[in-house]
Structure 1
Amino acid sequence: MKSCAYFVGFISIFLCLPVTKVAAVQALPGGAWSYSGLQMAQVPQEIGIPLLADIIAVAGGETHSVALSRGGQVFAWGSNSYDQCRVPLDVESGVTAIAAGARFTAALKEDGEVRVWGGGGTHPVLSVPTSARSGVTRIAAGRDHLLALKGGAVLAWGMNAHAQCEVPPEASGGVIAMAAGDHHSLALKEDGSVLAWGAGSPGSPAEVPHNNQSTVPQAAGSGVVAISAALRYSAALKEDGSVIGWGGTLPAGEVIQLAVPGSGMISISGGRNHFTALNSQGRVFATFINPILNYGQVSIPEAAMSGVTAIAAGSNHTLALKEDGTVVAWGAGSTNHPGLMIGDLHGGQSAVPNALADDVETVAASFTHTLALTVGGVVHAWGNNSYGETTVPAEALEGVEAIAVGHNHSLALKSTGRVIAWGSNQYGQTDVPAAALSEVKAVAAGGNHALALKNNGSVVEWGGYYEGPVELPVEVQSGIVAISAGYEFRVALNENGRVIAWGSNDLGQTDVPPEALAGVVAIAAGAEHVLALKADGRVLAWGANYFGQCVVPEGALSGVVAIAAGESHSVALKSDGEVITWGADHSLQRDRGPITAPVSAIAAGGVVTFRRLASAWPSFFEAAVSAGLSGEEAEAQAIPFHDGVPNLLKYAFNMDLAEPAAESSLAGSSSGLPVEGIQREGQELFWRVEFVRRKNSLLDYRPAKSTSLEGDSFMPMSGPVTVDEIPGAPAWERVVVKEPIDPASTTRFFSRLEVTEKP
């Protein structure tokens, strides 16, 4: 039974309890950690929280992956070397289909427009032809070209060295599906026949003998229901559930049976060197075309053995969409998988984004691997394991109180004061000296060296250096309270607030500025730069500045309470929970990710930033109790001050539950009831609704419109929406919805804002 209250007038506000809503990104509990940037493997299941939800489609590129939610939102992860994962703001919603090329991403908007991004900004596939800017119903991506289906005709653009964009006349109508390989294209006609063009067709440039992927065999001349393309191969799914393949080293006209008739296959997808199929029971199958290139892409995980509704093959990885809307990925870009070739691990394309659970106390990351320390002192590790850096020793599975990571080695500090090290020992970085086996209170790891801070304030160092042995400064033999390590240099903070630095100084990273010789309370070292936090909340930075990592923004010149440094980016946490980032962003390490509420802790390393969500905002019930309300007066729809404003609305709009509602205008304010009115822009009139919204909360805000006050006449407002941050109120955001109106046909206009508390 829903309990409702109304404000009636030119704006009415509607209150209901309860309603469920499935979000494209899962809401995170207080204390959980989110990350932005590149991770080489997925967060381990035992400490992970799935972020993506209600996904309806997936696509795989060469070193990146893409997912589309039911609400039309696009998410991309993996390598961002060509900006293929940087989803444009105007493509973050309203999308109906996705495709991924080698280094670009494409999306089909609900109005039929094709949008493309990535490609380093200069790729010819970015030049979407006018004909593909409306009316398109399907898209398919090859390595360097894109296909679009419009009115049964195929459009093609991008790289055309092998005539893969030279659409034959037969594909100008009656086409129902398309597929694109590295250098060839396929089309499925409504009569069940297949067309092919590009590499491997008569007269096209030959790459290898018998390169016949575009020479359609007789068996694919009828009865085909789906098609797919790989590097130099093509495949067709027949109506009898069988799958045939052709091209590569097969003679023209010959096929290979990838699945026999009656096998129940309903979908196929081709990667660079493998084909994947899905049967009617929701199980994934995969086979190699070239088994020499084994990245684990055909080693199907248990999670993809059932409940799968869609598949997508990237170059050397595979994605599976589960019936619950979650995504499973495996193959290249997932160093959690054994037997992978290290050369193609840089993408992280199989590391489906997960958050870290709220029992994680701290995180440490390098470019290639990550450690997390959970309550109870347990170390978890993921990422590259070429040197054993993520093979956590038994001693680090309990009683650990601090962690650190170097380039290819890991450190853990036991509660007993003993340091444990594992991973690469090429420079002696895991040969823990006797002095670091007891009475240690902090650790730090550089590129190929390690530091330990003793209880007596002295520093111990071990490991090797490219620049040769480095002697410890006399100043770090006592009175030190904090340590940090860059790739080939070291930093310490003494009890007087002075920063001391030593080691490589090719970029000025050990040239401590005068301002950092006193009054410093925290330090953080990136690969080649240093951050220092002053007692007055101001951040200092020096050293390498290739990406602006030492150009401290205005927001980090006051009110900062914590700092962190990645390889070439910098992070600061403000006292109000706001996170400021600057420096490199090529891997989206500065993107704020799904966390919009205040942050309580930060960590950074390599090309990743971690943010810990502050404790959850008080629930409505907690807020009511805190306001001194009890009994019936504490109920959501109660109006204890007889001011016409129910309690839940005060909670939703940042008003004081302990006081009568005061008349307020939202102009410049972070609290108050919504305001509405007519706004003119040129010759157009809009009905404008403005309100404040609690971020990351258990509330839904739903603006609706009507030309009468009848309850069933209200429809969702569909006009443009803008959302802005509110200075000084990090828990809140300002929302403005504008609905076009025609005064000639609309004499009355009402708006209603429905606020719903989720169960």
Structure 2
Amino acid sequence: MKRTHSGEGSVRSHKRQRSVQLHSTLNKHYKPLNSANDYSKLFLSEKPLDIFVWGTGSMCELGLGPSHKNKEVKRPRLNPFLMAKEGTEPFITSICCGGMHTIALSKDNKVYTWGTNDSGALGRDTTTNATEQLKDMKDADADDDEDGDLNDLESTPTVVTGLPETDVKIIQIAATDNMSCILYENGDIYCWGTFRCNEGILGLYKDEIQTQLTPWKLPLNFVSKNTKIVQLAPGKDHILFLDEFGVVYAWGNSQQGQLGRKVLERSRLRTLEPRPFGLDNIKYISSGENHSFALDHNGDLFAWGLNQFGQCGVSKDVEDGALVTVPTKVLLPENLDSKVKMVAAGEHHSLVLLENGDLYCFGRVDMYEIGLEKSKIPEANCYKDARGNIRSVPVPTKMEGAKPFKYVACGSHHSLASTTDGVAFSWGFGETYAVGLGPAGEDIEVPERIKNTATKEHDIVFVSAGGQFSCSGGLKLSEEEADKREDAYDDE
């Protein structure tokens, strides 16, 4: 039997009572969100998409099967395993990249995973290789350099079993570095994998589950009976939940302040469960690797977590190891021309996309993560080292001269964006080919168009990025539509 300190049970009871009282208050003042709100539409495509992958796939991240030449794909390549049959209609409606794995959702409510399964992030058994011989994936527009077999069960997109047989739709999928999570329209959450911390595996749930290898239903005792979760926001080793009354919950590793609350070392396993931390009136959430964001109903954006390169965007001053321990307002310009549409963030950089297509960038610049031309960054927005070199831009700064964007994503040190006319751009760290711009493997300072045979006739709807790879999802354009768009770019 576990011993508790005197009064510990009453403290927990008091905290639970306060949480229920908070929900009761919110129920009276805030109009509930629902699965059909504007921000939920960011996660699902109304039409099935062709899925393209590129980057370094040495850990099976690209999902192209165990063929010998698929370790490095330097430009987007259509993934044929995510087609019903070769040459037929696509069936994937959502994708989400973790650090070294990807999760995808099909139009018939099935979940597919691929990538490394060392921490159980795929939610299925990959210990025994299948004997079926899979064909080589050939694409004249993509180059591969390394040989060697990959685990066929990790490298091939495969359905996750063990999820409920139900008509209730999945409305969002999410992937951290070592965990996957899915959200149903009724608020049910299933997850698998684990969280890691600086010392290694932290665990998944309290001290009860270290690593979960198959789908597991998360107990929803952290929310009141009269509400449900409507959004997820995965980080590297933490995840945020948003309920329909605007309360935010955080779960996972807290060592960089990404949970918005202090967790004592001696109690970190007992507290390894989703908990609120005083943030409410929120309508949208997002996470970087070790920092987090929340947008409230007033249009104010808040951030917290690791901030040593100014990736939280809350102060002009930065320092090594700096943490923003409580949600703090992001220093976006007053009287923006448009409202915030979405936020994307990597390890040390962040992007804020407005509804009018403008993009504000902040954080580290060593590998051109934020896509701003150094010579044109306002002096007042820069942080320089002792030698006068720009190291970061801690103040949200508008990207000038770019086409209007409709979707953005961040890998660890690179960024992706899709324009309103469906063309993909990328910038940042290029050595792993995650920018998708060909064999040079160079870092890209400002957004550059990803142009190749595989995607030139597609309207790119989604982009997603992992540690060293990227994915996009697109709708095939008619020949007339594609030619018209190409002519517009040729005229520039």
Q: TM-score normalized by structure 1? A: 0.32
Q: Which has the larger radius of gyration?
A: 1
Q: Which has the higher strand share?
A: 1
Of structures 1 and 2, the one scoring higher in RCO (CA 8 A, sep 6+) is 2
